[in-house]
Amino acid sequence: MIKVFAVFLVIHLAGWVAAHLYLGQHPKEVLLVVDTSYSMKPKFTEIERWIEDYSDSSRYQAIRVGTDKAMLGRLDELKSRSVIFRTAFGRITEGSFNQYQAIKADEKILLSDGVIKPDGWKVIVF
């Protein structure tokens, strides 16, 4: 009985280690774009909390972040997450996403007020 339990334990641990190594070397690519238009300014604190919760729960993901104005880079390489909210002006447009069309990502997420819904993007409305 103990031998059977030991075999199952070894199989389980080997599977877990293999999955951890594979997912660590092949993370899911996520592109996260934040609407920093003037109308979204009152929501910046809420959006910042959402980003923190999302990144904390995303163990095997490489998150690149940008705004409707510019690409900022990898989220874990930013000096501070407050750089995302440094500017708030203008309005978001469909044309704001032209710069992101060439970026390959497994998932594209837009944090906005839902005014626009670009094709292929998951829109989180605040």
Spans of all domains in the chain: 27-125
pLDDT at residue 114, rounded to an integer? 85
Q: Are 63 and 55 within 8 A, CB to CB?
A: yes
pLDDT at position 86 is: 82
Span 83-125, pLDDT tens digits: 898 876 777 877 777 888 888 999 999 999 988 888 889 999 9
Query: Alpha carbon of 125 to those of 27, 104, 118: distances in Å?
Result: 26, 23, 13
Q: What is the pLDDT of residue 97?
A: 78
- Distance CA(44)–CA(80), nearest Å, equals 14
Strands 71-74 and 61-67: antiparallel
Q: What is the pLDDT of residue 62?
A: 92
pLDDT at 89: 73
Question: At a CB cut-off of 8 Å and minimum separation 6, what does 93 contact?
Answer: 68, 116
pLDDT value of position 80: 86
* pLDDT value of position 66: 93
At 29-75, the pLDDT tens digits run 999 999 998 889 899 999 999 999 999 887 889 999 999 888 999 99
